Structure 1
Amino acid sequence: MLEEVERWLGARSWSAADRPLDRLLSAKRASGIKVSVVLPALDEEATVGAIVEVIRRDLMDRLPVPLVDELVVIDSGSSDRTGEVAAKAGARVVHRDDILPRVPALPGKGEVLWRSLLVTSGDIVCFVDADLRDFSAAFVSGIVGPLLTDPDVQFVKAMYDRPLGAESGGPASGKTADQGGRVTELVARPLLNLHWPQLAGIVQPLGGEYAVRRSLLERLPFPVGYGVELGLLVDALHTVGLDALAQVDVGVRLHRHQDGLALGRMAAAIYRTAQLRLSRTHLVRPELTQFERGPEGFVPHTYPVDTVERPPMLTIEEYAARRVA
């Protein structure tokens, strides 16, 4: 298995600089492929506008042929000015609850990504988290590139340094330089190495920046919560095989980090997503109890672990009808 991972790393890992923008535009013009970029957003007014502005400036408005045809922010119930800021910067903003209203929306990132397929039309769908700082257009062009230039590639993850403690934009150093992905290193990577060793070469399995052919996405189930990235990656492996997956180095990712309790809930969702795919049987206890110190000692707080998955979009009649139309 190690030999297979090493072979894959050599054949399916690139840098964003390997495919210059002019090459991507030529490939896009020749193929007629359309690209949609989706930003799932919840209370991200501080960062979403700058991300939209960079994508519009560098990948849409100033190019003879736009690399990105569609830029959509899905607002999943923000209490701040996320939608207003995104729209002013040039994105089309759609509220989560306005998509497929006959199916009541559930909280969670995966829910938003699943619903985004109904309001986008690109042959390639590129997901980008809305909390990134010092955003570079390479986060989009880098991961879209292999899909435009290699017909055998279907799913591309971004890889990057993820410094801990650099939310404000200042450089991290020493032991914190690459420790931002704590749930990745403590939960996701061990699970993948033990149970799906073919995916051991994926540098950022839980990263929120990845581009996928719509023809694959619409065939996959979507965990509604934080487990969506792991679920899509594992299911893509089983659906199209390892050589259809790839990764591209896009540099450094700066974003807001979560506290320890939030990381615990994320870890539980990741474990649950993996467990479901391993067993496809009942969950023993889909809840997580955590503790916070109060005036009189430790106080337990119990949270549900995401246990719902949305079915492949191809099974949704509204989506099927749109495809026919």
Structure 2
Amino acid sequence: MPDDWFDAATYRWQEWDLNDLVEVKRTSGTTVSLVVPARNEAATVGDVVARVREALVDTVDLLDEIVVIDSDSDDDTYEVAAGAGARVHRARDIRPDLGSYPGKGEAMWKAQFVTTGDLIVFMDADLTDWDTHFVPGLLGPLLTRDDVTLVKGFYERPFDDGTRSEAYEGGRVTELVARPLIARSYPRLAWLVQPLAGEWAIRREWFEALTVPTGYAVEIAALIDTANALGPEAIAQVDLGRRAHRHQSLRDLGAMATQVITAVQARTYGGEHPQVVALRQYVPGEGGIAAAEREVVTYERPPARGLR
């Protein structure tokens, strides 16, 4: 039952002492990579990298590397991230023999070829209200429990429309798309508070075995595939407190929802699924409402393990 998993596999970030985790990491010989996928995040990526580096690389030895994967940015994301102390790679330049696709999942999949950590922590680059405890919080279950393979973060996620701020209204695609899909097809995952959260961690050996959607469905695909193969007991979640970031437009969220639905359907019904979905949306035009066609890429990368 979902409530049983919630009680057994839900933590708060305060349950782990940072120095204790550093000692566990040292004695076990475990290495850790922080991966930050980024696209046009010059305004925030420098703060994310600099604060994590100062707290978890320069002050204590929790992270072995901070790697930013720049996903076709047309602003100064690359330069800002490098200046803050990250090692930066452009996604399209990593393994060019494998081609390149747009999307967050593509950046995360490509990161496997340029990182070395036994554990991989993912953090979004657009954070505006957060703290560095996100990283040790996510690592806690992986460093202290051999039976945990994937850890999801969850948090108070406010939605601010400029006139008011609602504490738990920020995850619109989660509430309108992901949670209903889970309720219908994967109720064993219903105990997860924020299945689409961008802050999560995974053992490299398992991530290398997963098929990875190139877009925003990477998180829910990893959860479903992990639960199907290893059982929900291989997943833990950690309350990280509070997180805020830039909100996307409703039409962009429509594209994200399309990617999530496609990935879930592929895992539920099997068979071939489209690599590109034609999404028709409607926008104001000169003579009233006008149709706008958008191609939503839903391609999935094969396990990286066989491509090294």
Matches within 5 A, 1:115-134: 115-134=110-129
CA contact (8 A) 2:158 2:243 kept: yes
Paired letter, 1:78: S
The alignment status of 1:16 with 2:13, answered yes or no, reads yes
Aligned to 1:136: 131
Over 3 Å counting, the alpha-carbon distance change for 1:166 and 1:159 in structure 2 is farther
Instruction: Measure the CA separation in 1 of the matches of 2:26 and 2:218.
Output: 32
Aligned to 1:312: 303
Paired residues, number = 307
The alignment status of 1:37 with 2:31, answered yes or no, reads no
Aligned to 2:259: 269
Residue 201 of structure 1: SS of its match in structure 2? coil
Residue 242 of structure 1 deviates from its aligned partner by 0.7
Residue 13 of structure 1 deviates from its aligned partner by 0.3
Of 104, 107, 116, which aligns to 1:112?
Answer: 107
Aligned to 1:181: 171
CA contact (8 A) 2:129 2:242 kept: no
CA contact (8 A) 1:162 1:253 kept: yes
Aligned to 1:281: 271
CA contact (8 A) 1:53 1:89 kept: yes
The alignment status of 1:220 with 2:216, answered yes or no, reads no
Aligned to 1:210: 200
Residue 179 of structure 1 deviates from its aligned partner by 0.5
Residue 125 of structure 1 deviates from its aligned partner by 0.4
CA contact (8 A) 2:214 2:301 kept: yes
Aligned to 2:250: 260
Aligned to 2:58: 61
The alignment status of 1:233 with 2:223, answered yes or no, reads yes
CA contact (8 A) 1:50 1:135 kept: no
Deviations 1:6-57 (A, max 9, x none): 1111111000000110111121111110000000011101000000011111
Residue 287 of structure 1 deviates from its aligned partner by 1.9
Instruction: Measure the CA separation in 2 of the matches of 1:94 and 1:135.
Output: 24
CA contact (8 A) 1:159 1:249 kept: yes
Give TM-score scaled by structure 1 length.
0.91
Paired letter, 1:177: A
Residue 193 of structure 1: SS of its match in structure 2? helix
Residue 135 of structure 1 deviates from its aligned partner by 2.9
Instruction: Measure the CA separation in 2 of the matches of 1:53 and 1:166.
Output: 28
Instruction: Measure the CA separation in 2 of the matches of 1:198 and 1:5.
Output: 6
Instruction: Measure the CA separation in 1 of the matches of 2:204 and 2:230.
Output: 13
Deviations 1:231-275 (A, max 9, x none): 111111112211110000011111000111111111111111111
The alignment status of 1:52 with 2:43, answered yes or no, reads no
Of 3, 6, 15, which aligns to 1:6?
Answer: 3
- List runs of 5+ in structure 2 lacking aligned partners: none
Paired letter, 2:257: A
Aligned to 2:283: 292
Matches within 5 A, 1:152-167: 152-165=147-160
Paired letter, 2:64: D
Instruction: Measure the CA separation in 2 of the matches of 1:134 and 1:231.
Output: 27
**Identity score, percent:** 45
Instruction: Measure the CA separation in 1 of the matches of 2:10 and 2:248.
Output: 29
Over 3 Å counting, the alpha-carbon distance change for 1:166 and 1:69 in structure 2 is farther
Instruction: Measure the CA separation in 2 of the matches of 1:6 and 1:192.
Output: 15
- List runs of 5+ in structure 1 lacking aligned partners: 320-325
The alignment status of 1:84 with 2:79, answered yes or no, reads yes
Deviations 1:263-316 (A, max 9, x none): 111111111111111112244893211000111111111222323100001121
Instruction: Measure the CA separation in 2 of the matches of 1:22 and 1:189.
Output: 36
More strand by percentage: 2
Residue 166 of structure 1 deviates from its aligned partner by 7.2
Of 157, 174, 191, which aligns to 1:201?
Answer: 191
